[in-house]
Chains A and B, each alone.
Chain A
Amino acid sequence: MLTRREALLGSVLTAAAVATIGSGPVMAAAKDVTGLPREKVTLVAPPFVHAHDQVAKGGPKVVEFTMTIEEKPLVIDADGTQLNAMTYNGSIPGPLMVVHEGDYLELTLINPDSNTLAHNIDFHAATGGLGGGALTLINPGEQVTLRFKATRSGTFVYHCAPGGAMIPWHVVSGMSGAVMVLPRDALKDDKGKPVRYERIYYVGENDFYIPRDEQGKFKQYDSAGDNYDDTAKVMRGLIPTHVVFNGKAGSLTGENAMKAKVGETVLIVHSQANRDTRPHLIGGHGDFVWEGGKFANPPAKDMETWFIRGGSAGAALYTFRQPGVYAYINHNLIEAVELGATAHFTVDGTWDDDLMMQVEAPKAIAS
């Protein structure tokens, strides 16, 4: 069993090795950035997204975010199964950060001394320095500020990558989120025509690997470090015990179901930092889907199910046309129903008989 202290030490040593691969502090562009306007954004917990402009106003700016890392136990299913979670800003997934292409994203990452492990952040949207991982490794009690230029538009994963075996363990403990870099002149459909959304939801999908005891019951550990050895064994089997949206089976159902109205256009950003998935909206479609998540590519149209590669985020735009309760799932139905990857939308509005109607209700078979 790895102690807390050993886990901490181990991650620091590995990360130090990684840091030597990375470059030194970035200075070259600093003078160009000093004169830019700055905007400070307060992040909100998923599935919600902080207020943002769909079309950029003015020129590039520096958008400032702050995230505090929290290590804490979280319940991940209805049975009370506990994950020794590691989180960006307290939520799984971490919050979605929205900027425009050409903007600078400046993140202050805080690792309070109440935590026990070293952490960092690797932005798939960033260029160089292991996505920022090489420049952001912080021990409990430290903070760091990283700035990167958003050179490509799209939805991109960020995740913790503190070196070696720590990388997958931190990610499957909850440390991932996404960045959305919008084109300055808004999203465009397949013909290059601008499209807008009235609502946006961010769904982060996680695969968890909780060890079981001899009776087959999920085990509980005092701290993250205590579970490392057992968890690593389950991870190597590659079969998750849980596949969930937003940190917990049922986190986006009931009172927390996502909401929309008939006629509203919704953008659903879906990330999976570790494992492939295939979102599907039961009874709906993806009108325009950026499967790979990169907005410079024309979106696919009329998708039934879309593929999100492990380690990426995608986006689907849909205008609801019929009221009702919709399930939004990972269409590996075993993962959706048995392992937890199900969310709901409740959609109010007028029913369209032209799109669907029950011509005849169930009755005995006519003889």
Chain B
Amino acid sequence: MSFDPVFTFGTIAAAALIGLGVSNAIDGTSSWSRAPAAVAELVTLKPGSFEHPQPGEFLRDNHPVPAPVTKETIDTPLEIMKFQVTASDYDRCVSDGVCKPAGSSIVGNVPATGVSFLDAQAYANWLSAKTDDTWRLPTDVEWAYAAGERFRADIEGGDGDPANPARRWLTQYRNESALGRKADPEPRPAGAFGTNSKGVADIAGNVWEWTSTCYGHVTMTSDGVARSLSNCGVHVVEGFHRTYMSNFIRDGKSGGCAVGTPPDNLGFRLIHEHGGFVQAALRRLGLT
């Protein structure tokens, strides 16, 4: 897949301190109920276009085919969390009585893991309410854009052979085996997997991330007309490879990937909807 290099250096690794945590530090109070301390370092991605293998399963003339690659456009600057939501971030939502305790007992500056799509959504809603701003899961396209050169998409089995459906299954199985990825279950401190060319950290490490894109079956005809049927009980999960998980699954090992390597962990990062608030925060910090 190709990414316009303009956008790879055009990103702003902006340390945007969101919420009243800033004034919190100034007036010395630490009560969360009075002052939301949600601190999220954001990366702003410039608008751009890129080639993107679509998520889901695709059929042409009744036979499975590789996901079609389409040109996608991000037309406004995209603000995404540099790091995955950490266990300490998530714990604040738990302490507030809004989020369910995560499935993983690991605490501190490590990605929150053992969280389902529903948990991630609850966190996004809570954070939005706390900060009076909009936080949401990225779409599959947005995640791929932020992932840049680390984006892999589905492990493909190639074109279905109408005479032998097993060929695709075997190809896919062997492609996945050939990657030789060993299970790596222990979450590492935020940043441990480094940043990509866009300044986004920990992409395709050992925590897969929920997206807001639903799983779907797409049927294409030879003249290109597509009909899709989506199942929003299952969402696209992105990471080392793309996979699909039921909304309530918190441990990827038992939630999908009928054959092959399952995600080590499930976590998430959020998109911040731009509303002029970041600039204000930056000004307050003297960063502009």
Q: Which of B62, B166, B176, B186 contacts A323 (CB 8 A)?
A: B166
A323–B164 contact, CB under 8 A? yes
For chain A, give the interface size range. 20 to 34
B174–A346 contact, CB under 8 A? yes
Q: Digitize A296-340: 1 where CB-to-B-CB distance is under 8 Å, 0 elsewhere.
A: 000000000000000000000000001111010000000001100
Q: Digitize A197-234: 1 where CB-to-B-CB distance is under 8 Å, 0 elsewhere.
A: 00000000000000000011000000000000000000
B166–A254 contact, CB under 8 A? no
> Distance in Å from the Cβ of B219 to the closest Cβ of chain A?
6
Q: Which residues A325-361 have CB closer than 8 A to chain B?
A: 325, 327, 337-338, 344, 346-351, 353, 358, 360-361
Complex Cα distance A347/B186, Å?
A: 34
Answer whether residue B287 sits at the interface, using C-beta atoms and an 8 A cutoff: no
B59–A361 contact, CB under 8 A? yes
Answer whether residue A56 sits at the interface, using C-beta atoms and an 8 A cutoff: no
Answer whether residue B194 sits at the interface, using C-beta atoms and an 8 A cutoff: no
Answer whether residue A257 sits at the interface, using C-beta atoms and an 8 A cutoff: yes
A78–B253 contact, CB under 8 A? yes
Answer whether residue A31 sits at the interface, using C-beta atoms and an 8 A cutoff: no
Closest partner residue, chain B, to A215 (CB atom): B105
Closest partner residue, chain A, to B62 (CB atom): A361
Answer whether residue B192 sits at the interface, using C-beta atoms and an 8 A cutoff: no
> Distance in Å from the Cβ of B167 to the closest Cβ of chain A?
7
A361: which B residues are within 8 A, CB to CB?
59, 62-63, 219
Answer whether residue B241 sits at the interface, using C-beta atoms and an 8 A cutoff: no
> Distance in Å from the Cβ of A120 to the closest Cβ of chain B?
35
**Residue among A80, A215, A325, A344 with the highest chain B CB neighbour number at 10 A:** A325
Q: Which of B63, B163, B183, B185 contacts A351 (CB 8 A)?
A: B163
B253–A346 contact, CB under 8 A? no
Complex Cα distance A349/B167, Å?
A: 9
A337: which B residues are within 8 A, CB to CB?
254
Complex Cα distance A325/B163, Å?
A: 16
B185–A80 contact, CB under 8 A? yes
Closest partner residue, chain A, to B177 (CB atom): A254
A78–B165 contact, CB under 8 A? no
Closest partner residue, chain A, to B167 (CB atom): A323
Closest partner residue, chain A, to B63 (CB atom): A361
A59: which B residues are within 8 A, CB to CB?
none
A30: which B residues are within 8 A, CB to CB?
none
B59–A362 contact, CB under 8 A? yes
Answer whether residue B261 sits at the interface, using C-beta atoms and an 8 A cutoff: yes
Answer whether residue B180 sits at the interface, using C-beta atoms and an 8 A cutoff: yes
Q: Which of B173, B183, B227 contacts A325 (CB 8 A)?
A: B173
Answer whether residue A364 sits at the interface, using C-beta atoms and an 8 A cutoff: yes
- What total of A-B pairs shows CB separation below 8 Å? 70
A360–B62 contact, CB under 8 A? yes
Known: A255-B177, A346-B174, A364-B227. A324 touches B169 (CB 8 A): yes
Closest partner residue, chain B, to A262 (CB atom): B166
B219–A363 contact, CB under 8 A? yes
Answer whether residue A113 sits at the interface, using C-beta atoms and an 8 A cutoff: no
B173: which A residues are within 8 A, CB to CB?
257, 325, 344, 346
Q: Digitize B41-83: 1 where CB-to-A-CB distance is under 8 Å, 0 elsewhere.
A: 0000000000000000001001100000000000000000000
> Distance in Å from the Cβ of B231 to the closest Cβ of chain A?
11
Answer whether residue B150 sits at the interface, using C-beta atoms and an 8 A cutoff: no
Closest partner residue, chain B, to A351 (CB atom): B164
A325–B62 contact, CB under 8 A? no
B254–A338 contact, CB under 8 A? yes
Answer whether residue B170 sits at the interface, using C-beta atoms and an 8 A cutoff: yes
A350–B59 contact, CB under 8 A? no
Answer whether residue A32 sits at the interface, using C-beta atoms and an 8 A cutoff: no
Q: Which of A348, A358, A363, A364 contacts B170 (CB 8 A)?
A: A348
Answer whether residue B259 sits at the interface, using C-beta atoms and an 8 A cutoff: yes
Complex Cα distance A337/B254, Å?
A: 7
B59: which A residues are within 8 A, CB to CB?
361-362
Complex Cα distance A254/B173, Å?
A: 7
Q: Which of A78, A215, A255, A358 contacts B183 (CB 8 A)?
A: A78
**Residue among B59, B167, B219, B259 with the highest chain A CB neighbour number at 10 A:** B259
| Seed contacts A323-B170, A351-B167; 6 additional CB < 8 Å A-B pairs | A78-B253, A253-B259, A255-B178, A255-B180, A351-B164, A361-B59
Chain A interface residues (CB < 8 Å from chain B): 78-80, 215-216, 250, 253-255, 257, 322-325, 327, 337-338, 344, 346-351, 353, 358, 360-364
Chain B interface residues (CB < 8 Å from chain A): 59, 62-63, 105, 163-167, 169-170, 173-174, 176-178, 180, 183, 185-186, 217, 219, 227, 229, 253-254, 259-261, 264
- Residue pairs across A and B with Cβ atoms less than 8 A apart, 10 shown, are A79-B183, A80-B186, A257-B177, A325-B170, A344-B173, A346-B173, A351-B167, A361-B59, A361-B62, A362-B217
